Amino acid sequence: MLENYSPKIRKALKGIKIGDRISITKGKKKYEGLLMPRTETGDSNCIVLKLDNGYNIGVRSEGKIKIEKSKKPEPKEIKEELEFELGKEKFKKIKFDPKKPKVSLIMTGGTIISKVDYKTGGVRALEKPEELLTNIPELRDIANMKDILSPFKKMSEDLNYKDWQILAKLTAKELNKNQGVIITQGTDTLHFTSAVLSFMLKNLYKPVVFTASQRSSDRGSTDAFMNLICSAHTAVSDIGEVGVCMHATTDDHYCFLIRGTKVRKMHSTRRDAFRSINEIPLAKIWPNGKIDILNENYKKRKDEKVVADIKFEPKVALLKAYPGSEPEILEFLVKKGYKGFVIEGTGMGHVPTRAEKTWIPTIKKLIKDGIPVVIAPQTIYGRINTNVYSYLRVLFHEAKAIPAEDMLPETAYLKLGWVLGHTKNLEKVREMMLTNIAGEITKRTELDTFLV
Amino acid sequence: MLENYSPKIRKALKGIKIGDRISITKGKKKYEGLLMPRTETGDSNCIVLKLDNGYNIGVRSEGKIKIEKSKKPEPKEIKEELEFELGKEKFKKIKFDPKKPKVSLIMTGGTIISKVDYKTGGVRALEKPEELLTNIPELRDIANMKDILSPFKKMSEDLNYKDWQILAKLTAKELNKNQGVIITQGTDTLHFTSAVLSFMLKNLYKPVVFTASQRSSDRGSTDAFMNLICSAHTAVSDIGEVGVCMHATTDDHYCFLIRGTKVRKMHSTRRDAFRSINEIPLAKIWPNGKIDILNENYKKRKDEKVVADIKFEPKVALLKAYPGSEPEILEFLVKKGYKGFVIEGTGMGHVPTRAEKTWIPTIKKLIKDGIPVVIAPQTIYGRINTNVYSYLRVLFHEAKAIPAEDMLPETAYLKLGWVLGHTKNLEKVREMMLTNIAGEITKRTELDTFLV
């Protein structure tokens, strides 16, 4: 475990091992704490200590330094924290209260079940996802979460339609015996999974709560605990929809519950990265259990049997139209067996038209051949308009492209895959794409939904 | 001009023509105003009147209605407004003050030089872009804008690198004789053009202000006038950069000036659609000429000769990686002669890796063959991180993909085209992509730049 320290440091640390309490005297200063492992990167002459306040500091070895084993015993909680960071902690068995409402927890992968890897400075998966729960005793007061399932462990960028089908089937099964389901995965594609499950779970009137974390649970700034606590409150609430429950702000105040088809990861790292697009979030969920409904337009819990309707056509592509883009990709993908396209158009839905490489004839031909082409808003916020400009009228009324209305491009992509799983009839596809199925199309956008 | 009215209405309007002042008595109500043309869509039994307050209303013909020519003369300004809407107004010759600082105005197309077309309900181009200026007398007090150029008239989705090259050359020429340049185009791809000109204008120390409008100038809610006035103030200011000057809020209070490489159209229709991504806007520009600098990190005006460095490789593609996406598009495009790629990765820069169709081997092969692959953040806000997860390390350190840092995907696309116009040497390309050239890379992102 001393492997990333320089030979000089390793020599000075002879007889001392990771986790030992030591003191370092450097000039007039004395540092005391537990010796920590180093990451592969950074200054290998810098000794990492965990102080009694829980923080880690680096003490650079330069000039004269003296290192000794400390005689003072360390505080118990610090020892425990170190063991957790080193992955050595002994887990208490989790006891749930059988009188609480039953909620199933489906865990698949991602930062929420990871911890910092001191070897690389990166993160690695917890060996047992249940480890996480032992650190959140609050959950036991909310729900009986003894049904913990882990159908697969994958990074979220690697999920595909087969994983979504597994999740939908498992979720339906769990929902039909318990009060709600919480699903955790990596944040990157959380909004893809929440959208596709919104379509796959038919006759849904119970909460399906997606959550995740942007910072692993072994970091002081982790969002995992509050997100899981708020998700548990949501899972026993009266909101019978698929939603994403994540930090609303950078503080640990409350979470937003956002409809599964209207949510997007809008920042690579912030804890409040998930935002509601083109409608206000369904609710504020406070860690103490208070739920402030923000959007009255939600489905209420009912005791109905949910059905997993998982037919899905994976040969759908999500592409971008932009100045300089060429439509020949479409024809190439059709030859490769693709059955439908979602194109992110500019502004209200434009594609290059009078440009050197014009898109409309290609789109028109594909649609004539029975392959649906949906145009979604590249601006993310806002909606497609099929009338304002003359080439919008040509694209939508003459070539018969399908407007995604105010659907997110990602949601339109998953909806089209799901619709094509059910029918290849173009008129039927158009009708289903233009019909609101799971809150993905909002007829009128309220003014206060931009960048909130 | 009565063509979109129903036969019944046309009969009732016998002897009356568009623009005539009429009164309609319907039950106990009486409406008086100028008869307006109808659009193709909507209720052809509804008579459109322009009231004396300037608003248009529709009066549905049902039950007993009486239509008469009115004897009361209409207010002069209403007559003028109607003439403008009908495209019949007589233009005053524009007189500029030769003592004011000289600013060139380059107009290319888009909503800012359009007006509502009453035939289709859509918009069509003004015949002469100068028409617009006659309606903004304030401009004459700010600058001498007699140099009005219109190198081409195109919808913004149709622009390509040749247009950008024409604009860059023309802008450099104008800047070397005048104090600043204002460029107008359609909003859809305004941020593409502002980004590419940021790279093409070398040794730039004068303002190049891009502006546009989301609502045409014949609508009461137009943003064209205030955007142009604020752009004129910017063009004579001490800010020596390429920027986009558009409404900051939905009110007509002030504009934001946003750096040309850090701006994105984030809403399909709102007047405040243009937002600064990953840095605060450069300044608030008030229509009265007040300029509040928000970001001190800008280049100041200097009397230097600007050079148009327009070499550009158009064979670059901007693609998206997402669950279910397949990397074979890359190989197809390479065969088609493509020289480089920008891929929008998920989260901190992931591409599907352990998925059925893994991207990393394809990317690695392309890079080995000398074709640069840049990974940009699909989340829009935030930045690429090459270390946190193990597959990020494989993608960036082993396969040698180039991280876009906190660059917008659109900016990365234009930068890569411009860089490849200068060198095909992979190491040189990497170095240039990782070097901040025109404010496109911010080393540290301030906390208060998310969704503002």
Cα torsion A423, A426, A431, A434: sign = positive
Q: Does residue B233 share a domain with residue B149?
A: yes
A20 catalytic per annotation: no
Q: A149-153, A168-172, A327-331, B68-72: which range is least confident on average?
A: B68-72
A141 catalytic per annotation: no
Nearest to B266 among A344, A381, A389 (CB): A381
Residue B74 has pLDDT above 80, yes or no: no
- Mean pLDDT for the stretch of residues B232-244: 98
Q: Does residue B67 share a domain with residue B115?
A: no
pLDDT of residue A102: 97
pLDDT of residue B388: 83
Residue A90 has pLDDT above 90, yes or no: no
Q: Does residue A382 share a domain with residue A281?
A: no
The Cα A191–Cα A409 span in angstroms is 11
Residue B284 has pLDDT above 80, yes or no: yes
Q: Find chain A residues with C-beta within 8 A of B189's C-beta.
A: 322-323, 346
pLDDT of residue A127: 64
Q: Does residue B304 share a domain with residue B168?
A: yes
Q: Does residue B325 share a domain with residue B303?
A: no
Q: Does residue A250 share a domain with residue A147?
A: yes
- Mean pLDDT for the stretch of residues B114-142: 75
Q: Does residue A321 share a domain with residue A224?
A: no
Q: Is B386 an interface residue toward A (CB < 8 Å)?
A: no
pLDDT of residue A135: 81
Q: What angle do CA B113, B119, B123 make, to 5 degrees?
A: 20
Taking CA–CA distances from A325, the nearest residue in chain B reads: B317
The Cα A413–Cα A342 span in angstroms is 6
Are A104 and A174 in contact by the 8 Å Cβ rule? The answer is yes
pLDDT tens digit sequence for B354-374: 877 899 999 999 999 999 999
- ipTM of predicted assembly, 2 dp: 0.82
Pairing relationship of beta strands B208-211 and B180-184 according to DSSP bridges: parallel
Contact between B122 and A390 using a beta-carbon 8 Å cutoff: yes
The Cα A230–Cα A285 span in angstroms is 6
Q: Is B30 within the bounds of a domain? A: yes
Q: Is B451 within the bounds of a domain? A: no
Q: Is A450 within the bounds of a domain? A: no
pLDDT of residue A312: 98
pLDDT tens digit sequence for A17-28: 888 889 999 888
The Cα A231–Cα B151 span in angstroms is 57
Q: Does residue B234 share a domain with residue B177?
A: yes
Taking CA–CA distances from B263, the nearest residue in chain A reads: A379
Residue B84 has pLDDT above 70, yes or no: no
pLDDT band at A83 (very low <50, low <70, confident <90, very high): low
- Mean pLDDT for the stretch of residues B197-221: 94
As a whole number, the mean pLDDT across chain B is 90
- Domain finish residue from A28, A55, A85: A85
Burial of A139 (0-12, 13-18, 19+ CB in 10 A): buried
| Residue partners of B343: CB distance under 8 A and separation at least 6 | B319, B320, B321, B351, B359, B363, B373, B374, B375, B376
Q: Does residue B257 share a domain with residue B229?
A: yes
The Cα A405–Cα A385 span in angstroms is 7
pLDDT of residue B29: 87
pLDDT band at A120 (very low <50, low <70, confident <90, very high): low
Q: Is A260 within the bounds of a domain? A: yes
Contact between B384 and A417 using a beta-carbon 8 Å cutoff: no
* Residue B30 backbone dihedrals phi, psi, to 5 degrees: -130, 130
Q: Find chain B residues with C-beta within 8 A of A322's C-beta.
A: 189, 192, 318, 410, 413
Residue A119 has pLDDT above 70, yes or no: no
Q: Find chain A residues with C-beta within 8 A of B336's C-beta.
A: 328
Q: Please state the domain count of chain B.
A: 3
The Cα B35–Cα B79 span in angstroms is 11
pLDDT of residue A224: 93
Q: Is B52 an interface residue toward A (CB < 8 Å)?
A: no
Q: Find chain A residues with C-beta within 8 A of B387's C-beta.
A: 41, 120-122
- Domain finish residue from A261, A291, A308: A308
pLDDT tens digit sequence for A374-402: 999 999 999 999 988 888 999 999 999 99
The Cα A115–Cα A132 span in angstroms is 10
Q: Does residue B119 share a domain with residue B21?
A: no
pLDDT of residue A80: 61
Q: Does residue A320 share a domain with residue A242?
A: no
pLDDT tens digit sequence for A122-146: 666 676 767 778 788 899 999 999 8
pLDDT of residue B117: 67
Domain coverage including residue B64? 7-85
Q: Is B161 an interface residue toward A (CB < 8 Å)?
A: yes
Residue of higher predicted confidence among A370 and B215: A370
pLDDT band at B118 (very low <50, low <70, confident <90, very high): low
pLDDT tens digit sequence for B262-277: 999 999 999 999 999 9
Q: Is A317 an interface residue toward B (CB < 8 Å)?
A: yes
3-state SS string for chain B: CCCCCCHHHHHHCCCCCCCCEEEEEECCEEEEEEECCCCCCCCCCEEEEECCCCCEEEEECCCCEEEEECCCCCCHHHHHHHHHHCCCCCCCCCCCCCCCCEEEEEECCCHHHEEECCCCCCEEECCCCCHHHHCCCCHHHHCECCCEECCCCCCHHHCCHHHHHHHHHHHHHHHCCCCEEEEECCCCCHHHHHHHHHHHEECCCCCEEEECCCCCCCCCCCCHHHHHHHHHHHHCCCECCEEEEEECCCCCCCEEEEECCCEEECECCCCCCEEECCCCCCEEECCCCCEEECCCCCCECCCCCCEECCCCCCCEEEEECCCCCCCHHHHHHHHCCCCEEEEEEECCCECCCCCCCCCHHHHHHHHHCCCCEEEEECCCECCCCCCCCHHHHHHHHHCCCEECCCCCHHHHHHHHHHHHCCCCCHHHHHHHHHCCCCCCCCCCCCHHHCCC
Residue B40 has pLDDT above 90, yes or no: no
The Cα A413–Cα A436 span in angstroms is 15
- Mean pLDDT for the stretch of residues B220-235: 94
Q: Is A97 within the bounds of a domain? A: no
Q: Find chain B residues with C-beta within 8 A of A41's C-beta.
A: 387
Residue A107 has pLDDT above 60, yes or no: yes
**DSSP-derived secondary structure for A258-288:** EETTSEEE-BSS-TT-EEE-SS--SEEE-TT
Contact between A388 and B123 using a beta-carbon 8 Å cutoff: yes
- How close is the nearest chain B Cα to the Cα of A193, in Å? 9
pLDDT band at B206 (very low <50, low <70, confident <90, very high): very high
Q: Is B400 within the bounds of a domain? A: yes
Nearest to B270 among A120, A273, A382 (CB): A382
Q: What is the CATH number of the domain that holds A334?
A: 3.40.50.40
Contact between B268 and A382 using a beta-carbon 8 Å cutoff: yes
A265 catalytic per annotation: yes
Residue A416 has pLDDT above 60, yes or no: yes
> What positions of B carry a catalytic annotation?
111, 187-188, 265
Taking CA–CA distances from B250, the nearest residue in chain A reads: A447
Pairing relationship of beta strands B103-107 and B46-50 according to DSSP bridges: unpaired
- Mean pLDDT for the stretch of residues B308-329: 97
Q: What is the CATH number of the domain that holds A250?
A: 3.40.50.1170
Which range scores top for mean pLDDT: A42-56, B89-103, B373-387? Answer: B373-387
A423 catalytic per annotation: no
pLDDT of residue A298: 96
Q: Is A123 an interface residue toward B (CB < 8 Å)?
A: yes
pTM, two decimals, is 0.83
Q: Does residue A253 share a domain with residue A131?
A: yes
- Mean pLDDT for the stretch of residues A61-66: 83
Q: What is the CATH number of the domain that holds A61?
A: 2.30.30.520
- Domain finish residue from A260, A276, A308: A308
Q: How many CB atoms lie within 10 A of CB A301?
A: 16
The Cα B279–Cα B277 span in angstroms is 6
- Mean pLDDT for the stretch of residues B398-414: 97
pLDDT tens digit sequence for A152-196: 888 899 999 999 999 999 999 999 999 999 999 999 999 999 999
Q: Is B449 within the bounds of a domain? A: no
Longest CA–CA span in chain A (Å) reads 83
Share of chain B above pLDDT 90, in %: 64
pLDDT band at B103 (very low <50, low <70, confident <90, very high): very high
Judged by DSSP in three states, A450 sits in coil
Q: Is B355 an interface residue toward A (CB < 8 Å)?
A: yes
Q: Find chain B residues with C-beta within 8 A of A350's C-beta.
A: 155-157, 188
Residue A266 has pLDDT above 90, yes or no: yes
Q: Is B287 within the bounds of a domain? A: yes
